[in-house]
Chain A
């Protein structure tokens, strides 16, 4: 059966739309923090969170008692809380006579659990009667409303198999998930297993369908996959068939697909990423997309539905609708029974009655049960309301309400508790904004007498905030914040690696390639290095365990004991066994045509020599340069094959032609490939004007255009830990989850070139002769800052190097002391600098440490402005600090580039932490203890589960409570109000983020002495700068939609 083209295309588009709410999942080798609700950013924050709750079953806000704890600790603004309550009450009509503001405030602050319990049957009148202590009148349940409510619950885009599960207690969805996960693990394996799934090159669906027709396990289970797959060639046809057999109306297909995909949102997100990744080797070899994934799932759905079918069970959506119409009582009892919330007293009898299936019995059972349920619900709701009433002293008032008024109160209460998360969130943000506003320094900075001893550019990462503070405090140093890739997106080909690494934010594609080259001759590998290599290979072989356990098992045991008992000392000793990596240089100047030709020639000659040695077995002395040159010319068709050459190689003419053909085909020494290689070589490096552009852009964006000091450090950052699948999450996000040292080196090398400086002088940035740019690396686990290329420091500067080193060491020790205190238990004493350093060093090598550092947890602010603004404020490592001087940016280009790039990355990081903190089980990845690495790109919990997305519990929680305060990113822009607003308006993505409430925006206008805060709904709240309380004095104009 083949579908018409229009249907195929339409189906593919539907699947694309259906997959949009599922966020991408990047392989964890380069962990990318992202917003799990990225696909829903078109909605307002509150709505998106609601939708996330429907799709993923996840909470969007903390539980009330968590917020109450924050309130007790003083991190929530009570006035803002009251304002939120007032806003809610203003739009709801509540019965007069009670101080509702006080009552609702009491509800939020003194009642631990929500009181508006969901009820199925009890009416407000029943609950009121229970509250008054009166007997509850038995009500007859209205069939119509009950049926409608169940139709809403079970119909629409809810997949049929989920409905069957909730009615019959079958485990179709779970089995489906398991089977699908197993298939995914087999298909997406990237060389980890020794036996691979056959036929993967044909695509996910085709490979699976071939195998599953012969799958013994499925056959034993009774799944007739053959029948389901009969006549189906393409995944689109499979999906269409499944939807038609289940009778799902076409308007619900997209919703249906989304729900199915959302069940395994980790794997679906991974497939979405993979089908988009153009240059991913595995995706090119073994293609798979969401349509394939969904097709496999739908095939299994059909098979399972068929297998689980019993008489009386609906097999299609229309049959389900008929069942709802004709047997609503049975449906209700079934739903209750399998939801796990049924009243236990009647559970067994109801179960039996349903099984027997006689309608009059069921109706009678329904009546009895509904009465019981009604009474139970009424009493529970009344008890909950009484708790509130007693706490707020309004119980008598509640009891004396009229039933109609009571009903409207209950509705209002339900709505309030559904929205209370936003009210708490705004109150918490209010406090954070207030704290910030009180601590900033908006006075004009004093003019410096002389230039600082050294300047350092750190990444905007929140961890830099601490070390910048300490660095500035211990000497005459000035620090700046810039995105961790220093504005230079590069693709790096490291020494000895076979692929390029993209060192830039995930949203950018780098256009230039940089090579890392040896300085000295290649060193001999030490014995230890070779042994390590051999051991690693052994671990992967399937036969290894049998042969080598006795032989070398002890070696592994030795390693195990050493790593566990004395990690720091053992690692230091092991490090001595291996030679230091050779010093390298980066090749980043564009090659001239001659240079490129020469490199290509050299590479091809190497290959030819190897080919002759390998194929013809000639020793090196017999292979002269002329022979190699001639062979090359023949291969490139610039020369005809001749006798002498053939003889020199020990062949006849035809043999020579065969050999050359092999060179052309297998070794790719031919004209077309040479052209491609030259193109690739052309990608290497940056032209002079590009270099000047990047350096100028970087310096201008942070406002450093004059007053350069002798040393300008470019400090990238990276994290070192052992046995940590999330290691990449702690590295620099702006560098795509890699170390920032390479970009630092690149920019430093560029900025030190005389030609570049000449160009910059023409553009107005005058860098004096004695300024040297140095790359450095900040290890965020130990807080060490090491210079990456100390040999490149000119001799004149060596005099001052000592002072710089002392400064760096002091800053890192103080910073470690402050930071390690947060990793120790709450009541521990603050450690001394020596003790802190020891702990930090141990964290970097201890393979049992689940929390080597807190990373970006507790990130709250994103400040775009001069350092002077925040210099006096201790932000506890909670702020992204990007230096910016609005005075040199009249066209707002620099501000726009900052908000379009680094701010968006910051928002992703913030949202990742937010959602992992509020619901770690669904949006986060749970505890690290149960993680198993799957296929080298992700983790699962246990031996088989969905790919875990988000951050682990150890990163955002502490002792079960949130350590990261879940707030939306508070973006602060230091610029005149009109300037900042125009910039935000001009960038579509950021404008949408602000309007939909994904980030908060605060503008600090030191020129005019104003603070302007964006409130949801298009309003701004302004206040004068010398008072510290945020009282509204004007509501500014609306931001246009």
Chain B
């Protein structure tokens, strides 16, 4: 009855400091990624020390995470594209395999 089909994609989780959010979303837009989710006010620990999660006035120093699902062929350009950034700044990209049901939302 239902044509339920799952298609494989790659999920990218990009964690970086809030002040670079505009740059990261711009890069994703230029790679023609169809959409992304922003998770705010993270806290965590990295090689640069511990980041508190709450924000007062200054929204720049908190951590944010971008989650996006992209077809396989976009993974390598995106990772290569972000590489100079992570050479100079703290943050990570996690790549995992996922499946989605509505492929049209994620792929051109």
Contacts and interface: CB of A to CB of B under 8 A. Distances in A.
* A and B associate in one complex: yes
Interface stretch (A6-14, A791-799, A840-848): A6-14
Interface string B34-64: 0000000000000001011000111111000
A14 B84 CA distance: 6
A666 interface: no
A953 B26 CA distance: 39
Interface in A268-282: 276, 278
A36 to B, nearest CB: 18
A1001 to B, nearest CB: 18
Contact of A10 (B23, B59, B74, B84): B84
Q: Main SS of chain A's interface residues?
A: helix
B56 A12 contact: no
Contacts of A900: 56-58
Given A13-B83, A13-B85, A14-B84, A4 B60 contact: no
A644 B14 CA distance: 61
A373 interface: no
Given A13-B27, A507-B57, A989-B60, A5 B77 contact: yes
A16 interface: yes
Interface string A1004-1041: 00000000000000000000000000000000000011
Contacts of A10: 80-81, 83-84
Contacts of A507: 57-60
Contact of B57 (A254, A901, A1040): A901
Interface string B1-28: 0000000000000000000001100110
Residue with the highest number of chain B CB atoms closer than 10 Å, among A10, A505, A901, A987? A10
A897 B80 CA distance: 38
B77 A901 contact: no
B58 A989 contact: yes
Interface residues of B, number: 27
B105 interface: no
Contact of B56 (A4, A5, A901, A1041): A901
A508 B31 contact: no
B52 to A, nearest CB: 6
Contact of B77 (A4, A14, A276, A505): A4
Nearest to A487: B57
A279 to B, nearest CB: 13
B49 A1041 contact: yes
Contacts of B56: 896-897, 900-901, 987
A13 B60 contact: no
Nearest to B73: A5
A452 to B, nearest CB: 30
Contact of B22 (A8, A276, A897): A276
B106 interface: no
B49 A13 contact: no
A904 interface: yes
B31 A16 contact: no
A631 to B, nearest CB: 39
B52 A505 contact: no
Nearest to B20: A16
Contact of B81 (A9, A505, A897, A904): A9
Interface string A455-470: 0000000000000000
A988 B59 contact: no
A508 B57 contact: yes
Contact of A9 (B49, B60, B78, B87): B78
A17 interface: yes
Given A507-B59, A897-B56, A254 B84 contact: yes
B53 to A, nearest CB: 11
B77 A988 contact: no
A989 B84 contact: no
A231 interface: no
A9 B76 contact: no
A16 B59 CA distance: 20
A169 interface: no
A385 B1 CA distance: 95
B80 A6 contact: yes
Contacts, number: 78
A199 interface: no
Nearest to A904: B58
A986 interface: yes
A607 to B, nearest CB: 35
Contacts of B74: 5
A241 to B, nearest CB: 19
Contacts of A508: 57-59
A507 B60 CA distance: 8
Nearest to B26: A12
Nearest to A253: B84
A505 B59 CA distance: 12
A988 B61 contact: yes
Given A505-B57, A507-B59, A900-B58, A12 B52 contact: no
A1041 B82 CA distance: 27
A17 B83 CA distance: 11
A5 B77 CA distance: 6
Interface in A84-134: none
Contacts of B52: 986-988
A9 B57 contact: no
B27 A12 contact: yes
B18 to A, nearest CB: 11
A13 B78 CA distance: 11
Interface in A1-27: 4-6, 8-10, 12-14, 16-17, 20
A12 B78 CA distance: 11
A16 B30 contact: no
A9 B26 CA distance: 10
Nearest to A4: B77
A4 B82 CA distance: 15
A704 B25 CA distance: 43
Given A6-B80, A9-B81, A897 B49 contact: no
Contact of A901 (B58, B61, B82): B58
A1040 B49 CA distance: 9
A642 B77 CA distance: 58
A900 B54 CA distance: 11
Contacts of A8: 30, 81
A6 B30 CA distance: 11
Nearest to B83: A10
Contacts of B77: 4-6, 9
B81 A12 contact: yes
B58 A13 contact: no
B23 to A, nearest CB: 5
B30 A9 contact: yes
Nearest to A507: B58
Contact of B61 (A13, A989, A1041): A989
Interface string B82-103: 1111011000000000000000
A582 to B, nearest CB: 34
A74 B26 CA distance: 54
B81 A6 contact: yes
B82 to A, nearest CB: 6
Contacts of B58: 507-508, 900-901, 904, 989
A901 B59 CA distance: 10
27 contacts: A4-B77, A5-B74, A5-B77, A5-B81, A8-B81, A9-B77, A10-B80, A10-B83, A17-B84, A20-B88, A254-B84, A278-B22, A507-B57, A507-B58, A507-B59, A509-B59, A896-B56, A897-B56, A897-B57, A901-B56, A901-B58, A986-B52, A987-B61, A988-B49, A988-B52, A988-B61, A989-B61
Interface of B: 22-23, 26-27, 30-31, 49, 51-52, 56-61, 74, 76-78, 80-85, 87-88
Interface of A: 4-6, 8-10, 12-14, 16-17, 20, 254, 276, 278, 505, 507-509, 896-897, 900-901, 904, 986-989, 1040-1041
Given A13-B81, A900-B56, 11 more contacts: A5-B31, A6-B81, A9-B82, A12-B27, A17-B84, A278-B22, A508-B57, A901-B57, A987-B56, A988-B52, A989-B60
Q: Closest 3 CB pairs between A and B?
A: A9-B81, A901-B57, A6-B77
